[in-house]
Amino acid sequence: MERAAGIYARVIFPDAFSRTDPHLSDMQKAMLDATPDCIKVVSVDGKLLTMNKTGCLALNVPEDSEFGMPWLALLPEDVHQLGMEALQKAAEGHSARFPGKSESPTGLIYWDNLLTPLVDASGRVFSILCVSRDVTAKTKLERELQDSINREKLLSAEMQHRIKNLFSVVAGLISIAEKEAAKGNTPDTATQILRDKLGALSRASDAAFSEAAIGEGGAGRADLEALVRSVLQPYGDRCLIDGAQASISRKVMTTFALFIHELATNSVKYGALSTDGGDVTIRWKPNGETLDLTWVETGGPQISALPDRQGFGSEMVDRIVRSAGGRINRTWRAEGLVVDLHLPNLAQD
């Protein structure tokens, strides 16, 4: 773009050493109007002296304007600071560049702005040439690429998190199965009990990532208690379920199942389900178009302080719940964690 700026400068000021006013002939205007670049001549103190047709259209200035207005005032407010810094640098005799944008009937347009100081025979900066080039397609492509990279990083982190959690959950289920077998209340061996729990865990995973909720747009409804019991079945009578009869839209079933599954996983790793005497109570109450659910842990390790940071799984679930229009509140009591979930729009299919 520097080469183009040099050409435009020679068109506007064929002899800068003898003529420094930007009054253009019809031929000069025609030449500048033929380019898709937005071309402006700005005074050292930031006043717009002249501008080609593309520039007038981009900044919503009449082509027959007398100009003279502050240039930066025509730009979106959030680029004023960058524009001022570039203008000051150009006024000191140095080329400067900054990203800009403008509104158009077709949407937002992104610009690459190059400011070139124009000097007279004495070396004094008498004006500043600003060439703005439409880089909307390039900017959008770069952002799409960055979004794709971020998604890949998130998926990779989620995969690592899920694999790590799987080992923790299986280790916890082994411990639970051994304790249940040792009580002698069942003829099954620890291996048989564990096999049943792993089967239940598989069914819980199917519920959390059901084809009905993901692949088919989530039409229909599901029984809330059946979904909760399906997800928590691997943990047996350690989880106490108490809620009114309610159905849940399959549009949010995956979000809800992931929420319950993540809480159970964290409880096996750190909370009530990690100890012999700990248990969890899950209560819910439909409230119009909102479901209010409370998860209460008791009998687990004593909580002496708030966690230093939120784990990846909790952050992921929080994002999913927020995307569904819900909210989560966590209360870290000494006797155990309490989590309140408020998930809206459950009455809408």
Instruction: Give the mean pLDDT of 253-269.
Output: 80
Cβ atoms of 243 and 224 within 8 Å: the answer is yes
The pTM (predicted TM-score) of the whole model is 0.48
Q: How many CB atoms lie within 10 A of CB 226?
A: 12
Tokens of residue 175, six digits: 């411990």
* pLDDT for position 338: 94
* pLDDT for position 14: 67
Q: How many CB atoms lie within 10 A of CB 270?
A: 17
Cβ atoms of 69 and 47 within 8 Å: the answer is yes
Instruction: Give the mean pLDDT of 51-78.
Output: 88
- Is 60 exceeded by the pLDDT of residue 145? yes
- Is 60 exceeded by the pLDDT of residue 258? yes
Q: What does the alpha-carbon distance between residue 110 and residue 64 come to, in Å, rounded to a whole number?
A: 25
* pLDDT for position 70: 93
Residue bearing the bigger pLDDT, 29 or 85: 85
- Is 50 exceeded by the pLDDT of residue 17? no
Q: What does the alpha-carbon distance between residue 188 and residue 152 come to, in Å, rounded to a whole number?
A: 44
pLDDT in tens, 196-245: 777 766 765 665 555 444 444 445 677 888 888 888 888 888 899 998 88
Q: How many CB atoms lie within 10 A of CB 220?
A: 13
pLDDT in tens, 157-202: 877 876 776 777 777 778 777 876 777 666 778 888 788 777 766 7
Instruction: Give the mean pLDDT of 111-117.
Output: 93
pLDDT band at 297 (very low <50, low <70, confident <90, very high): very high
Residues recorded for the chain: 349
* pLDDT for position 218: 44
Residue bearing the bigger pLDDT, 322 or 39: 39
Question: Residue 216 half-sphere exposure, CB side, CA atoms within 13 Å?
Answer: 12
Q: What is the DSSP code (8-state) at residue 23?
A: P
Instruction: Give the mean pLDDT of 18-31.
Output: 69
Mean pLDDT for all residues in the chain: 81
Domains of the chain: 2-134 (3.30.450.20), 145-344 (3.30.565.10)
Residue bearing the bigger pLDDT, 300 or 205: 300
Q: Identify the residue whose tokens are 């959950």.
A: 169
SS (H, E, C) the chain: CHHHHHHHHHHHCCCCCCCCCCCCCHHHHHHHHCCCCEEEEECCCCEEEEECHHHHHHHCCCCCCCCCCECHHHCCHHHHHHHHHHHHHHHCCCCEEEEEEEEECCEEEEEEEEEEEEECCCCCEEEEEEEEEECHHHHHHHHHHHHHHHHHHHHHHHHHHHHHHHHHHHHHHHHHHHHHHHHCCCCCCHHHHHHHHHHHHHHHHHHHCCHHHHCCCCCCEEEHHHHHHHHHHHHHHHEEEEECCCEEECCCHHHHHHHHHHHHHHHHHCCHHHCCCCEEEEEEEEECCEEEEEEEEECCCCCCCCCCCCCHHHHHHHHHHHHCCCEEEEEEECCEEEEEEEEECCCCC
- Is 80 exceeded by the pLDDT of residue 300? yes
